[in-house]
Amino acid sequence: MRLGALEAGGTKMVCAIGDETGRIFEQISIPTETPDITMPKLIAYFEERKVDALGIASFGPIELDREDPKYGYITTSTKKAWIDFDMVGSFACALRCPIGFDTDVNGSVLGEVTFGQAKGKSCVIYLTIGTGIGGGIYIEGNLLHGMLHPEAGHVLIRKRSDDRYAGKCPYHGDCLEGLAAGPAIEERWGKKAVELADRPEVWDMEADYIAQALVGYILTLSPEMIILGGGVMHQEQLFPLIRAKVKEFLGGYIQAKEIEDIEHYIVPASLHDDQGIMGCLELARRAATEK
Ligand code: ADP
Ligand code: ZN
């Protein structure tokens, strides 16, 4: 099958052509401007390449309820020009092929479960910590949608008493994203995150906040693996700090081999940053076979 993959991000659109084995034949990146400018380019790319199905993993929030008249829309995005935009409808109308659609982070977890280190596992979380924080959840063969779709980046956590920073989330102030996404790190410490690499206090606080959230997910969903991606996780020193704090915060309550072997439980992404686009190929395959 000739499958199209679109990772729709707030800053760039990654388009690729591949197949159901996860092979990627070609890939390009187009800046995300307004739908008027960007959509014709995306449609032309996939039209010229005659895809059998398209998988889209998109920034959001998005509407995933197939019964809703706005299924396939971007809903209340912070990208103003894309609010109420009919993403799936626009492609379906032009390409006339099956279209799979999900959140960007659900795409990433699907890539890892189908082609990466999480193959064979039935409950896996992928958390990205970048400009924002988002979580994709794969549970017993499906991507979790529920009422809307998980918004795991906005969970409420305890702010540390030594943290004077108010938090950056426009909705909640000091939720996880408000305290721990890249822009919050940069505003709190007054420097680009990458330039703070040698400041241990920065990463100790960051690990604390991420670990608090992970403990919440562990206790609620009982995942078999947690994958951490996104720009902030390029700070590899975070991994051992997060693992130690997760163990500390669990307080010995959870007895499981995964927690004992926590190096293989809380892990970086495994597909050389292609987990998202490969997840889109699987979304496309699933859409094609559904039909
Ligand atoms: P996006 O979330 O927009 O898709 P990224 O996942 O790359 O993009 O996240 C960008 C954020 O990650 C920036 O806000 C920046 O603060 C942070 N970041 C990027 N690279 C690094 C790095 N090497 N170390 C620490 N933080 C980084
Ligand atoms: Zn929030």
Is the Cβ atom of 79 under 6 angstroms away from ligand 1? no
Report the 10 Å Cβ neighbour count for 256.
Answer: 13
Average pLDDT over residues 139-154: 95
AA letter at 116: G
Ligand number nearest CA of 273 is 1
Does 220 contact ligand 1 (Cβ within 6 A)?
no
HEC string for 205-269 = HHHHHHHHHHHHHHHHHCCCEEEEECHHHHCCCHHHHHHHHHHHHHCCCCCCHHHHCHHHCEEEC
* Residue 108 identity (one-letter amino acid): S
| Closest residue CA from atom 10 of ligand 1 | 130
pLDDT value, residue 86: 98
CA distance linking residue 42 with residue 59, whole number of Å: 16
Q: How far is the CA of 230 from the centre of ligand 1 (A)?
A: 6
Exposure class string for 80-99: b at 16+ Cβ within 10 A, else e: eebeebbbbebbbeebebbb
Give the number of other CB atoms < 10 A from CB of residue 16: 24
pLDDT at 291: 58
Closest atom of ligand 1 to 132 CA is: 2
The rounded distance, in Å, linking the Cα atoms of 240 and 238 is 6
Q: What is the pLDDT of residue 78?
A: 79
Residue 172 has pLDDT above 90, yes or no: yes
Element at 31 (helix H, strand E): strand 24-31
The whole-number average pLDDT for the span 146-175 is: 96
Q: What is the percent of the chain with per-residue pLDDT over 90, rounded to a whole number?
A: 97
Q: Is 78 in the pocket of ligand 1 (CB under 6 A)?
A: no
Atom number in ligand 1 closest to CA 185: 16
CA 122 to chain centroid = 18
Mean pLDDT of the chain: 97
Name 62's bridge partners. 74
Three-state DSSP state, 12: strand
Strand partners, 267: 227
In one-letter notation, the amino acid at residue 234 is: H
The ligand 1 atom at the shortest distance from the C-alpha of residue 130 is: 9
For residue range 108-128, list pLDDT tens digits in order: 999 999 999 999 999 999 999
pLDDT tens-digit map of 41-86 = 999 999 999 999 999 999 989 999 999 999 999 998 778 999 999 9
Please tell me whether the peptide bond between 98 and the residue prior to it is cis, using omega within 30 degrees of 0.
Answer: no
Instruction: Flag whether pLDDT at 262 surpasses 90.
Output: yes
